Structure 1
Amino acid sequence: MGAIVHIGYHKTGTTWFQDIFYPAVRNRPYLPRATVRAAFLASGALHFDAAQARTTLGSACDNALLCEENLTGGLHNGGLAGNLSKDVAQRIHAALPDAQIVIFVRDPVAAIASAWLQYVKGGGTFGLRRYLFGRDRLSAVAPERDEAPGFCLEHFDYHRLIAHYDALFGAGRVHVFRYEDFRADPRGFASAYAARFGLEVDLSQIDWGARNPSLSRPLLGMARAMNLFTRRAVADKDWLVHVPGWYRLSRTLLRWANGMGRFGRPLRPGDLIEPDLTAWLRAHYAPGAQALHTRLAWQARHDSVSVPSSSGGGTVIRWRQRPLGHDAIAQTPAHRR
C-alpha cells in the first residue's frame, strides 16, 4: 500500500492521532513528528533532496505511518500563501511516490475560530478580526508583508490543496475525511478508519479524551492579558514587557485552570465569531465548500466500487455512527483477525 502520510489539516484532531492512535498501531511503524519535520520541512525549497529525506525517514519508510499537520503549512501564516503547502506535496511525492495521503478537513468557520484560540494559547494578544484581517492595514508594499506572513483565509480553502495532491498521487491514493465525522463518534470512526487501511489497533486500550480542549471565556481573557508579559511565541502580537520564563509558567497555569473546569464551559465557534462575520466567511468559502462536496461524493462512489467488502466496507465516508453503548465492540476488524 505504501506509507500512510497524514498531513493534517490543523485543528482536525491530529494531536490525538499523533499521541494516541498511531503509536498503538501494531503492524506499521509510526515515525516521530521530529523525524517527519526533518525529512520534509527542514531544508529550503532549493535544497531538498528526496534521497536524503528517505534516509532521514529510515529503512521502513515505505510501510510507515507519518502524521504532521505542518505539512499543509503553518497555521498562522497560511503555508506562506500556499507556497510551502504546494512545495511539500511535491517533496512527499519525490520521496514517497507510492504513499497514501490522508487529509482531514473541518468546517472553515469552526477551523478559523479554533485557529484564533490556538493563536491566543500560543501567546497572541490581538482579537479575532485583527488576527484575520490585520494585514489589510498595511500598504501594498509594506515590508512586513514579506518579513512576517500572517493569517491567510485561503489556507482553509481545502479543495485546492486536495486537487494538487490528486494530480501528484492520483485521486485514489488521496483520502479525505471530515473532522466532524470523527468528532461525532471517535470509536466508530476509528474502527472504520483502521479497517480502511488495514491497521491493527486494539481500540479497548485507546484513550478517547480530547487533546486540545478549548478555553472558557474568562480564561480566554486571562490568557490574552498574560500574553502581554512575553514576546513569545507568535510573530504578530503586542507585549508590554518580556518576563523571562513567563510564557512557560503562564501556559502551565492556564492548563491547570482549564483542567479544573470551574471557569465556565469551553467556547464554541458561535461564541467567538459574530453573525455578520460568520455570514461573510460562509459566502467566501461557498465555492470551495461545493468543490469539496463534489470531491467527497466522488470518493464515496470510488470506495463503493474499489474497496472489497471483506475489509468491513473499508470506508469512513459511508460509515454510520454506532449508538451509545457500543463500547463492547472494542477492536478493529484488522485487530480481530
Structure 2
Amino acid sequence: MSGAKQIIIHVGLHKTGTTFLQDRVFPALPGVRFVHPLHYAQPSDGPIERLLLDLMFRNAACIDVARHRQRIDAWLAQVREPTVLISSEAIVGWPIENHSNLAVNAEYLARVFPTAKIWLVVRRQDRWVESAYAQLLKAGFSTSIERYLNYRDGRFDRYNVGLYNGPNVDARDLDWDAFDRHYRERWGHDAVLTLPFELFSQASAEFLGRFYAFAEIDPAQRVFPDTSERVNERWSPLAAGVAKLVNKVPMPVKRAIRDRLGREWHPSAVLARALPSSLLPSALGGRTRALSPALGAALLELHRDGNRALGRRIGLDLDAHGY
C-alpha cells in the first residue's frame, strides 16, 4: 500500500537546518501529510511515529516489522494527501553513538517503504562537529572537543563505545559519501537527494527548489519562507565555555535542577539571552570557534577525497563550499 502514495523520508543529518524545515517549511506544504516523529511517545502518535520510536530505542531484532508495515499501510489507505513526508534527524543515527544505527534504520525503513525517496542534508565536517559539540553542551554534557573527536597525539582514534567514555565519535566515520552511497544502495540511485547545508545558508531558494523538484511538489504550492530568523541557534563561545564548567556538576544534580527550574535557567542559556552571540567576544585564548584551525584542517583533510567523490555523484561542487 505504501507504493500507492509518494513517501519522502528526510533522514537528517542533525545540525543541518532540520528544526527550521520541520517548523517553517514541511507543515506549510499543501497536499503533503507531514509526519514528525519525536524522541518520546505522544497520545497523537500514529503508526509511523511508533515505528520510529522502536527504531530509536528498541533492540532491532525484537521489532515486528511486518506488523508495523500492516498498521502503516492501513493508515496510509485513509490519508487523503498524495504525498507523505516523514522527517526525523534520528533516522541517520545518533551523533553521540557514532551514527551506529544508520544501517539498521535504513534496512528496516526499506522493508516498510521500499519505493520511498530519501533526502539527506550534509554539512562540512568541521562546521558540523562544532555545531554537534555545542549541542552536547546544551544537553548538559561536559567534554573537550578533542575528546569528543577522539583526537590525541596528532591522530584521530576510534569511537569509544559507551557513554561512560563521554559522548564521542570516530572522526573517520563522519564520511557523508559513505552515508549517501548506503542510501542509494538501499533505494536506488535516483531515489536519493543529497544536498549541502551550506547551499541552504547561502541560497535557500535554490536549496528548497531542488528539494521540491525531487519531491514533485507543484510549483504553485512551493513555500519559500524567510530564512533570516534563526531557529535553535547555538550558544556563543563564551556561553559554551560557561556550559563546560557548569556541566561538570554530576548529572543527577543537573537533572534535578533542570526539572525544577527548566532548561531556560541554565547559566549559559541566561547568558545567551542577555548577550546575543554577535555581541560576545570569544571565550578562552581569543578563539572565535570551538574547533582550532589546525584540528579543523585535519578533519577536512581526512574527508577530502570522500567529499569530492560525493560532490561528483550529486552534481555539486562541494569544493566551492569549502569541503
Q: TM-score, normalised by structure 1?
A: 0.73
Provide closer, same or farther for how the CA distance between residues 87 and 154 of structure 1 changes in structure 2, counting only shifts above 3 A: farther
2:238–2:281 contact (8 Å) kept in structure 1? no
- The partner residue of 2:117 within 68, 86, 100 is 100
Amino acid at match of 1:287: D
- 1:20 and 2:24 aligned: yes
Distance in 2 (alpha carbons) for counterparts of 1:65 and 1:56: 14
Aligned to 1:251: 263
Distance in 1 (alpha carbons) for counterparts of 2:226 and 2:293: 38
- 1:90 and 2:107 aligned: yes
Provide closer, same or farther for how the CA distance between residues 228 and 247 of structure 1 changes in structure 2, counting only shifts above 3 A: farther
Aligned to 1:110: 127
Provide closer, same or farther for how the CA distance between residues 250 and 132 of structure 1 changes in structure 2, counting only shifts above 3 A: farther
The residue correspondences of 1:262-273 to structure 2 (distance < 5 A) are: 262=276, 264-265=279-280, 271-273=289-291
2:91–2:102 contact (8 Å) kept in structure 1? yes
Offset of residue 120 of structure 1: 0.7
Q: Is there any run of 5+ residues in structure 1 with no aligned partner, and where?
A: 233-240, 301-316, 318-337
1:11–1:111 contact (8 Å) kept in structure 2? yes
> Could you give the per-residue CA deviations for residues 6-27 of structure 1, whole angstroms, max 9, x where no partner exists?
0001111111111221111110
- 1:123 and 2:143 aligned: no
- 1:46 and 2:61 aligned: yes
Q: Is there any run of 5+ residues in structure 2 with no aligned partner, and where?
A: 39-44, 318-323
Aligned to 1:221: 241
- 1:11 and 2:11 aligned: no
Aligned to 2:41: none
How large is the Cα RMSD of the aligned pairs? Answer: 3.2
Offset of residue 246 of structure 1: 3.1
Aligned to 2:314: 296
Offset of residue 266 of structure 1: 9.0
Amino acid at match of 1:145: V
Aligned to 1:238: none
> Could you give the per-residue CA deviations for residues 213-251 of structure 1, whole angstroms, max 9, x where no partner exists?
12112211222222233517xxxxxxxx55613367463
Offset of residue 265 of structure 1: 4.7
- 1:2 and 2:3 aligned: no
Query: How many residues are aligned here?
Result: 282
Offset of residue 208 of structure 1: 5.1
Offset of residue 50 of structure 1: 2.9
Aligned to 1:308: none
Distance in 2 (alpha carbons) for counterparts of 1:4 and 1:47: 26
Aligned to 2:179: 161
Amino acid at match of 1:271: R
Which is richer in strand? 2
2:237–2:288 contact (8 Å) kept in structure 1? no
Aligned to 2:320: none
Aligned to 1:178: 196
Q: TM-score, normalised by structure 2?
A: 0.76
Amino acid at match of 2:313: R
